[in-house]
Amino acid sequence: MQSQINLSELYKSDELFLKDLKKVTNLIKKYHKYEGHLFDNGDILYEFLTFDTKVSRNLERLYLYAHINSDLDLKNEKYQGYYGKVINLFNELTEKTSFVIPEILSNDYSLFEEYLKENPKLKEYKLNIKNIFKEKKLIKSKEEERIISILSSTYQRPEEISELLINTDLDYGFIKDENGKGVHLTNSNYSTYLESTNRDIRKNVFDKLYNEFKKHENTFGAILATEVMNNNKIAKIRNFKSARSLSLFHNDVKDSIYDNLITGVTKNLPIFYKFYELKKKILGITDFHIYDTFASLTKEYNKKYTFEEAKNIILDSLNVMGKDYLNVLKKAFANNWIDSRIFDSKRSGAYCTCAYDTHPYVVCSFEGKLNDISTIAHELGHAMHYYYAQTNQAYQNYNYSIFVAEVASQVNEIILTDYILKNSNDKEEKKYLLDQILQRFKATIVRQTMFAEYEDKIHTLEANGEVLTKDVLTSEYFKLNQKYFGKGVNVDEQIKYECFRIPHFYYNFYVYQYATGYAAAIKIADMLINKKKGALENYIKFLSLGSTKDPVSSLKVAGVDMMDCKLYDDVFKVFEKRLSELRSLYE
């Protein structure tokens, strides 16, 4: 029996939704009366902030109701219309509130502190105001900001153009699958065939894909170089020493976090190389190439589970989280916070979303596979992060930083997998799970760190006056592949064109967070699994913080010091332990 979501806590009927939609539409029209008066006195400022919070909270509920209903039935024109109306309201809100930040920043923070003494209620918004003033160092003159705003749409062009080229214009040709059937190779299905147990297929798709990129290397080189120049120029305009520093500043993260990641992973690469040595041995390949590193060691584990079985496995595995955490999870299943149904008109994929005034919601498609159980556990990790932040923080402080956004979800997945491994007597299941763990470590820690180092390298080269020709871009990427794959892998020349395929390279400095977030999750999960003293209490505190601490300080509460390079030593020890377990199964 699948789980069907219950949205009545948002709105009991469409009529109530439409009534609220009309109310918020009218409220948004009232913003103009505050323009030019925000800092007249403390009472006016508090009145505005309370009004703005009311509008935002209501709009959040409206969005969630329309968004989820729309995703549950993409053919339902009524809900598509509702969703469109809410998006229009968001756009109108952005327009009507465009005066707010400039008006606040036209004053000094000291004036807010004076108003705070006069009206202690303003303390509710102190963190928000402080964060706005933190951005003041970025703000230029009114005319300069107007010019930057006008040009901002052009900054996104490299991302848009590269996406069109990669997914629409390039023709990767045809391949034959495991059954000898002709298949049109695309950027989307490439990774599926690269993991094939048939080596000829792996080599064929690898060659076909990157030979097509090679044909367009001059165009891609120009696009990527433009993206890097854009980022560096914006950083210069904003008076930052680098594009990386500007990007990290927005996330309240120091440059040393980025450097620690690269240093910590580089130091431990010899441990990681052992994975390829074992893989080479298991696959029986002496001449081991990059396209072989992606091969699955086992066939997909096809055991099927009912939704009820999945629920029990998740609850049993997350028992280490304590009674309170577990009771909320039970409520999530019992009260239909989850929609796991499968039907044609439902949007694919999985996500967790939340409105402050209701519980979190999870949308997914459950087919009964092991990966589906993992997906639900992952999304429930997000749900619990939302839940604890909602329960313990005011509306304006409950949303946490993107830097820690994937930690709670990954912690749940890691604990679930550990539980299944410990309770399984099926050797093939264990092989499959361990292979998945190691492949994920490769994809998230090692590969994303390589991406992060490359991104930093090409931005630094351009900032120092180097002309980023397609040869410079591809040669730097090739050298990093040699470093991260090691001497035990033949680094095929075609891999240098992969730098044009990675979508994150066309918007700046995001990928490092995949690696740091997963490293933090491994450390936290390891402490929870081994019942380290204080680990559970500290983790629940972390989940409860919302945005009341910067992300690095938040993780420190959970027992993870992102400033300490030793973190990556600990993370690679966990990897080595799993690698040893897989080796023993084959020996």
336: left (phi over 0), alpha (psi -120 to 50) or beta: left
Domain for residue 198, yes or no?
no
Does pLDDT of 362 surpass 70? yes
Would you report the helix, strand and coil content of the chain in percent, each value rounded to 5? Answer: 70, 5, 30
Average pLDDT over residues 23-45: 95
Higher pLDDT, 587 or 169: 169
Residue 152 has pLDDT above 70, yes or no: yes
**Taking 70 as the threshold, does the pLDDT of residue 142 lie above it?**
no
Measured CA to CA, the distance from residue 271 to residue 66 in angstroms comes to 49
At residue 178, the pLDDT reads 86
- Are the CB atoms for 545 and 554 separated by under 8 Å? yes
Q: Helices 447-463 and 470-485 sit at what angle, rounded to 10 degrees? A: 150
From the candidates 124, 195, 300, 379, which is the catalytic residue?
379
- Would you say residue 440 has pLDDT above 80? yes
Using CA atoms, how far residue 171 sits from 217, 364, 569, 577, in Å, is 14, 32, 43, 42
Question: Mean pLDDT over residues 130-159, rounded?
Answer: 78
Q: Are 28 and 93 in contact (CB under 8 A)?
A: yes
Find the radius of gyration of the CA atoms of the chain. 25
Q: Provide the pLDDT for residue 299.
A: 75
In a domain, 78, yes or no: yes
CA distances from 154 to 149, 242, 283 (A): 10, 20, 48
Weakest-pLDDT range from 21-25, 58-62, 300-304, 421-425 = 300-304
Split at pLDDT 50, 70, 90, the class of 291 is very high
pLDDT of residue 340: 95
Name the more confident of 268 and 141.
268
Q: What is the pLDDT of residue 471?
A: 98
84 occurs within a structural domain: yes
Q: How far apart are CA 417 and CA 423, in angstroms?
A: 10
Is 379 annotated as catalytic? yes
Specify if 126 maps to a domain.
yes
* pLDDT of 458 strictly over 70: yes
Cβ-Cβ contacts under 8 Å for 356 (sequence gap 6 or more): 57, 60, 390, 395, 398
CATH number at residue 91: 1.20.140.70
The pLDDT value given to residue 301: 75
pLDDT at site 431:
93
Q: Helices in 251-350 by DSSP H: which ranges?
A: 255-267, 269-283, 290-293, 307-317, 323-334
Q: What is the pLDDT of residue 74?
A: 92
Evaluate whether residue 54 is within a structural domain.
yes
**Residue 59 included in any domain:** yes
* 93 within a domain of the structure (yes/no): yes
Which pLDDT tens digit goes with each residue over 511-530? 999 999 999 999 999 999 99
Which positions ≥6 away from 57 have C-beta within 8 Å?
355, 356, 357, 395
What pLDDT score was predicted for residue 457? 98
Q: How far apart are CA 320 and CA 309, in angstroms?
A: 19
Which residues, in sequence order, are bridge partners of residue 363?
Answer: 339, 351
Query: What percentage of the chain exceeds 70 in pLDDT?
Result: 99
Q: Above pLDDT 90, what percent of the chain?
A: 86
pLDDT band at 508 (very low <50, low <70, confident <90, very high): confident
pLDDT score of 207 more than 90: yes
User: Could you give the number of structural domains in the chain?
Assistant: 1
Question: What does the pLDDT read at residue 116?
Answer: 94
pLDDT category, 154, cuts 50, 70, 90?
confident
Residue 96 lies in a domain: yes
Find the domain containing 52 and state its range.
Answer: 14-139
pLDDT at 319 over 70: yes
